[in-house]
A and B are shown apart, each in its own frame.
Chain A
Amino acid sequence: MAGVSAARLRTIFALFAVLSIVLSARVVYWQTVARGDLLERARGQVLSDEVVPAQRGTIRDRNGAILAATVELRSLYAIPGRIKDKPTVARSLGVLLGRDAGPILERLTSGAEWTFIQRRLPETAADAIAALRLDGLGFIKEPKRLYPNDDLAAHALGFVSDDGSGQGGVEGWYDEVLRGVNGTLVVERDPADRSIALGLREAVAPRHGADLTLTIDLAIQTSAERELRATIERERAASGAIVVLDPRDGAVRAMASYPTFHPAAVAIADPAAMRDRVVAQPYEPGSVMKAVTMAAGLDTGVVTPSTWYEDRGYADIGGRRLLNALGRAWGPTTMTQVLERSANAGAVFVASKLGAQRLNDAIHAFGFGERTRVDVAGEASGVVRPLAEWYPVDVGTASFGQGLTATPLQLACAYAAVANGGVLYRPYVVAAWRDADGEHRTAPAAVRRVASERTAATLSEMLVSAVDNGLAQGARLPGFSVAGKTGTAQIPSPDGRYVDDEYISTFAGFFPAVDPTFVVVIVLERPTSKLLGTSAAMTTFRAVAQDTLRYARIQPDRKP
């Protein structure tokens, strides 16, 4: 100590003192001012803050058969740095996944630290890969919407996009109900990523999506789609649609649209095939509209079934001459025969007696020109021009379904109103949904009365006669009374004229006519058959109706 001067000792002491003060100040700083930050960092190392996804609801048909359900499938990922023999692993995976090994090897050698090999694997493939116990490979579970009936009812169901949102059909309309609300989970985890039982645990449980029960019947839907597909392929038609409705409350039993798509593979679907032709594609309805014109005529009392006129094969109105199909003159024709023969001149006769205002009112009252408010996404309203925009000739053309457009569902609703005694119902596809609060059932909604019961009954009889004695005989069913009407509409070209030799074939009908249980509307676009273009639609109607009657075990109301 003799060699160390007092001044040097003091200096060293001072240095230590300053250092101590600085360190103390730093400790005080971290323990007071920045304490929260430190705590946050410490918690961050052990805390796991995760979203607990809500399970999307299941969609079932009216009998409980699953139409769409979400299930977690395993997605295969790789950590290439941990894989020693990449070519061998790529070959093994290629065999098990049924893929070329080349792209898999490319992923493994891409330099990425972590990469997906394939997402949402089939269970058999995932099990086989898991059994290999290869280093550097692992699984995470990801939700996938599955459709056990493949493309059946694809348009009615809609689909779920990659971000989990519902698009089209009931998936789109009921997206908020189906998707539920995600929960959260904050827990402390140990180094093995297990939550610590005595650690922090803050959980908000997810609210899973509601399960939907549709009004659609899988058996009727299958029949409708089978017959529609067969007819379109046989007729080489461009597209088509079928809707089956319960006229007593507006419940949709089937809605088929063709061409179609697979809701689990929308990425490779043709956009035109994804259009729902039942609700989103308005057509010119043609002569099926004569039933609406006749309903207005009967309801206002301007005609009765036995009212007759002299049919000369045409009608002059607004300075234009409107012809019957094939220009045929029928001579003295009653109103019942107007529907049997589908005489355009007869529809114009009724419309002339009604006048533009009452005809327009009737068309709107039956729901044309406005959405039916059915609970599927993407519905079109069709076009019925305002009365102020009508030319005098429009009274004539509208009476037999030209110059306006309607969706097959609108037509079905209008015919359902005739079938049920004159009440227009809002059609619906979801019968009930069940969530944590219980079951919520859809109440059938009557929109308005569009005709008196007497008018509806009279018109039903006239439509039965159209099938029994008229051009719609192709729709007769052995043992059952059928009320129905054919329709053939020309297709307008972009320049406003009608296209030659191309038309839309429609049939709308209900059965058994004495106590109607089903309304069926068929629309075929550009079929190749002749006979006023409606034979294919009637054949399809008959096939669907026979299947439906058998399935519903409805007793015949006539002798076969």
Chain B
Amino acid sequence: MPARARAKTHRRSAVQAATWELRSFLGASAAIAVAFVLALAYLASSTGVATAGYEAQRLEAQRDELRRQNTLLELQLATLDSPARIEAEAKRLGLVRLPFITVVPAVPLTARR
């Protein structure tokens, strides 16, 4: 084989070897990158779930507190609506009971016509 042909063959082999190395490198890099991205995604997801969990707890506590406040307000309303309190307040204002209340008979209007 002439020297020129040998050099050409050698160059081709070198190029093929370089291409293989490059491919391997790129493949490995891609795999590492994918793994890294997956790891990041997993971490982000875990962090997101944990954060959401803490947020859910905070909201649960807030809900419970609002329910408690609601019950307290209902009790306060019941206290203010108490007939005994209203009677005492009416007495303080000088209001008195009517001795008799006139009741209008519930005669149907059609019966009168």
Interface residues of A (CB under 8 A from B): 65-66, 69, 71-72, 123, 141, 146, 148-150, 152, 194-198, 218-219, 222, 225-226, 478-479, 550, 553, 555-556, 560
Decide yes or no whether B105 CB sits under 8 A from chain A: yes
Q: Verify if B75 is at the interface (C-beta below 8 Å from A).
A: yes
Assembled-state Cα–Cα distance A218/B78 (Å): 11
Tell me, yes or no, whether B106 is within 8 Å of chain A by CB: yes
Q: Is the CB of A69 within 8 A of B75?
A: yes
Asked if residues B54 and A198 are in contact (CB atoms below 8 Å), the reply is no
In the complex, which residues of chain B have a beta carbon less than 8 angstroms from the beta carbon of A150?
82, 84
Most chain B CB inside 10 Å of its own CB: which residue of A66, A69, A146, A194? A66
Name the residue in B46, B50, B52, B76 with the highest tally of chain A Cβ atoms < 10 Å from its Cβ: B50
A222: B residues at CB distance < 8 A = 82-84, 87
Which residues on the A side are within 8 Å of B84 (C-beta)?
A: 149-150, 152, 222, 225-226
The answer to whether B82 touches A197, judged by C-beta atoms less than 8 angstroms apart, is no
Minimum CB–CB distance from B102 to chain A (whole Å) comes to: 9
Q: How far is the CA of A198 from the CA of B49 in the complex (A)?
A: 7
For the residues of B in contact with A, the DSSP-based class is helix
Q: Which of B49, B83, B103 contacts A556 (CB 8 A)?
A: B103
Chain A residue at smallest Cβ distance from B70: A71
Given A148-B82, A194-B57, A197-B54: A66 touches B74 (CB 8 Å cut-off): yes
Known contacts A195-B57, A478-B100; A149 and B50 CB within 8 A of each other: no
Instruction: Report B51-89 CB contacts with A as 1/0, cut-off 8 Å.
Output: 011101100000000001001101110110111100100
Are B53 and A226 in contact, CB atoms less than 8 angstroms apart?
Answer: no
Q: Verify if B95 is at the interface (C-beta below 8 Å from A).
A: no
Q: A546: shortest Cβ distance to chain B, in Å?
A: 9
What A residues does B50 contact at CB under 8 A? 196-198
| B5 in the interface (beta carbon within 8 A) | no
With both chains docked as a complex, state the minimum distance between the C-beta of B39 and any C-beta of chain A, in angstroms: 16
How many chain B residues touch A (Cβ–Cβ < 8 Å)? 26
Cα distance A195–B53 in the bound complex, in angstroms: 8
* B69 to chain A: closest residue by CB: A123
- Tell me which residues across on chain B come within 8 A of A146, comparing CB atoms: 75
Query: Would B72 and A71 count as touching, CB distance under 8 A?
Result: yes
The residue in chain A whose Cβ has the minimal distance to the Cβ of B76 is: A148
Q: Is B101 an interface residue (CB 8 A)?
A: yes
Specify which of B53, B78, B84, B106 lies most central, judged by the most chain A CB atoms within 10 Å of its CB.
B78
A141, A194, A195, A197, most chain B CB atoms within 10 A: A197
Known A-B contacts A218-B83, A219-B83, A555-B105; the reply to A198 vs B71 at CB < 8 A is no
State whether B68 touches A226 (Cβ < 8 A): no
Least distance between A144 CB and chain B CB atoms (Å): 10
A198 to B52, CA, bound (A): 10
List A contacts of B105 (CB < 8 A): 555
What CA separation (Å) do A194 and B56 show in the bound complex?
11
| B83 and A197 form a contact (CB under 8 A) | no
Nearest CB in chain B: distance from A522 CB, A: 20
Q: If the complex has contacts A71-B72, A198-B46, are A560 and B81 also in contact, measured as CB distance less than 8 A?
A: no
**Smallest beta-carbon distance A494→chain B, Å:** 38
* Whole-angstrom CA separation of A150 from B84 in the bound complex: 10
Q: Known: A148-B78, A149-B78, A198-B46. Contact between A555 and B106, CB under 8 A?
A: yes
30 contacts between A and B (CB under 8 A): A65-B78, A65-B81, A66-B74, A69-B71, A71-B71, A71-B75, A123-B72, A141-B68, A148-B75, A148-B76, A148-B82, A149-B78, A149-B84, A150-B84, A152-B82, A194-B54, A195-B53, A195-B57, A196-B50, A197-B49, A197-B53, A197-B54, A198-B49, A198-B50, A222-B82, A226-B84, A479-B100, A555-B106, A556-B103, A560-B100
